[in-house]
Amino acid sequence: MDHLWAPWRSQYITQVDKPKREGCIFCWKPLEDESQDQENLIVTRREHCFVLMNLYPYNNGHLMVVPYRHTGDFLQLTPGELLECQQTLQDAQRIMRDAITPQGFNIGMNIGRPAGAGIDQHLHWHLVPRWNGDTNFMPALAATKVISEGLLDSWRRMREGFARL
């Protein structure tokens, strides 16, 4: 029998139904002191948005660009919010390309729960690095996705990239 070693999943399993605090995670995380950025997986902060690693990634390096303003309605974003979020996505893609050399990217937003949004009341874009062969038999046969790099390792790479901008 083969065994998949993923000890970090036990933290998810034991705490998935225990939110750190009440309210929207995308609202309270950036309100915490910047000294908590590593714990909160916040990579960088900008005027209208911030970037954080996805705690439950599809692939290593999976991050999100999140406007500070709490809204689930894409049509409510201001021109300034839209522009900065899109520029930040470009910056993040450049940094990711240099830091972890993916062969492709998925960039997108799920608007509303029926569209797949896990947090549907606060808009956020996903940037997922992709490599040839990163989807294999594990998700199809074992309903398991293998993430090849730890979150904090990915966080450090992205944080260093944004610091160099």
Active site residue ranges: 124
CA 144 to chain centre: 19
Report the amino acid identity of residue 28. W
Tell me the chain's radius of gyration from C-alpha atoms: 16
DSSP state of 71: -
DSSP state of 113: G
Structure-token pair, residue 153 = 């390792």
Which residues make beta-bridge pairs with 44? 51
CA 120 to chain centre: 15
Structure-token pair, residue 152 = 């904090």
